[in-house]
Amino acid sequence: MSRERNGGTPLAERTSAAKGLADRLRRVGQRVTPQRLVILGTLSPGAHLSADDVFARVETHLPGVNRSTVYRTLELFGDLGLISVTDLGGGARVFELIDEPHHHLICHRCGAILELDDALVDPLRVAIRARYGFVPAVDHLALFGFCAACATATNG
């Protein structure tokens, strides 16, 4: 806390969130750049942001940032398991900081979106890991199908 020089960390990693990200990126051999810090800063758990939403917010803090950078960074964060990337069927994919896993059931017919309890998904996660050794990152699943009302309407 006392004799930490600015030169110690190449960038302004003052907030704890940014510092946490910076450390995490370095740990996996990724570079820490202003763009990456700001992009992560725009995301939060519970907020479904499109790539364009993220771009708009990032631009206010970092004018001149490029759309490609936003897309590439979001994909990187997705691969690193920092954020979830989900197609809810609304045209653009949504990005969200991962906190508690949560999922959605989306009706093909009426478009209704229900929440799906992660407790129902967890056994699948466990089974996959046990059977294949594959560690699934299912933090934000979107399953399509028919809601109770539409299923009845379609069959009957």
Closest contact distance (angstroms) between CB of 71 and DNA is: 4
Residue from 61, 72, 104, 125 that binds DNA (CB under 7 A)?
72
Backbone phi, then psi, for 30, in 5-degree steps? -100, 150
* C-alpha distances out from residue 11 to 24, 111, 120, 121, 122, Å: 15, 44, 42, 40, 39
- Residue 132's binding partner, choosing from its own copies, DNA, none, with beta-carbon cut-off 5 to 8 A by kind? its own copies
Q: Show Cβ contacts of residue 48 under 8 Å, excluding neighbours closer than 6 positions.
A: 86, 88, 94, 95, 96
Binding flag, residue 109, its own copies (CB under 8 A) = yes
How many chain residues interact with its own copies (CB under 8 A)?
34
Question: Which stretches of the chain bind its own copies, using CB under 8 A?
Answer: 28, 78-79, 81, 87, 105, 107-109, 114, 116-117, 120-121, 123-124, 127-128, 131-138, 143-148, 151, 154
